[in-house]
Amino acid sequence: MNYKAHFASESMSVIMRPVDDPVVALGPGMQIIRGIIIALVLLPFIDVFTSKNGWLKFAGLVLGLSYVSTVGPTFGSFEGYIYTKIPLQYHILGIPEALLYTSLFSGLLFFWYKKPGRAWNIITAVMVVLIVMMSILGYLSGLGLIEQ
């Protein structure tokens, strides 16, 4: 998807920041906060991982609560279709991405839960550090404090 072109369109530029905005570069690093909140909310449902097709049930739960049935009118959500003036194409464009991310998140989390190990902890820690560092560098670059 060409986010730069979509976000610059007449209907989207009113509500979305341009992709080269410095704050957008901080987005991936800020997802850590969101991840902690999601982990705390989903912790009581940890038993779903031990059930048959648990990852699929979990994927349905996450997709239903975070994409289809959101609290507010967001892209692709039920309320977004009803209450926003955003063209239908923007709602539909997000569906494959939401399905992919939800499937990957649920599958990887399920696998990590079923096969715990020190290697997973090291890999995830390194990935988180890299994501945060790239977000900070992107933000500083967007502010013009680092030359590209």
Averaged pLDDT for residues 74-94: 81
What is the rounded CA–CA span in Å between residue 45 and residue 139? 36
Three-state SS for 130?
helix
What is the rounded CA–CA span in Å between residue 65 and residue 28? 21
Greater confidence (74 vs 138) lies with 138
What is the rounded CA–CA span in Å between residue 138 and residue 148? 10
User: What tens digit of pLDDT does each residue of 90-109 get?
Assistant: 888 878 888 898 889 888 88
Residue spans of alpha helices (H) in 84-146 = 88-114, 118-142
Q: Answer yes or no: is 21 within a domain.
A: yes
What is the rounded CA–CA span in Å between residue 24 and residue 90? 19
| Measured CA distances, 46 to 19, 57, 58 (Å) | 36, 12, 10
Cα of 34 vs its chain's centroid, Å: 9
The two tokens of residue 125 are 């820690």
End-to-end CA distance of the chain: 24
Enclosing domain of residue 96: 3-142
The two tokens of residue 107 are 């599958």
Quick one: pLDDT band at residue 44, thresholds 50, 70, 90? confident
Averaged pLDDT for residues 56-85: 82
Q: Answer yes or no: is 12 within a domain.
A: yes
Q: Answer yes or no: is 124 within a domain.
A: yes
pLDDT for 138 beyond 90: yes
pLDDT for 133 beyond 90: yes
Q: Answer yes or no: is 74 within a domain.
A: yes
Q: Answer yes or no: is 32 within a domain.
A: yes
Lowest mean pLDDT among 41-45, 75-79, 98-102: 75-79
Q: Answer yes or no: is 106 within a domain.
A: yes
Quick one: pLDDT band at residue 129, thresholds 50, 70, 90? very high
Provide the domain count of the chain: 1
Q: Answer yes or no: is 147 within a domain.
A: no
What is the rounded CA–CA span in Å between residue 30 and residue 35? 9
pLDDT at 10: 82
Q: Answer yes or no: is 89 within a domain.
A: yes
Lowest mean pLDDT among 18-22, 35-39, 47-51: 47-51
What is the rounded CA–CA span in Å between residue 118 and residue 121? 5
pLDDT for 57 beyond 90: no
pLDDT for 6 beyond 90: no
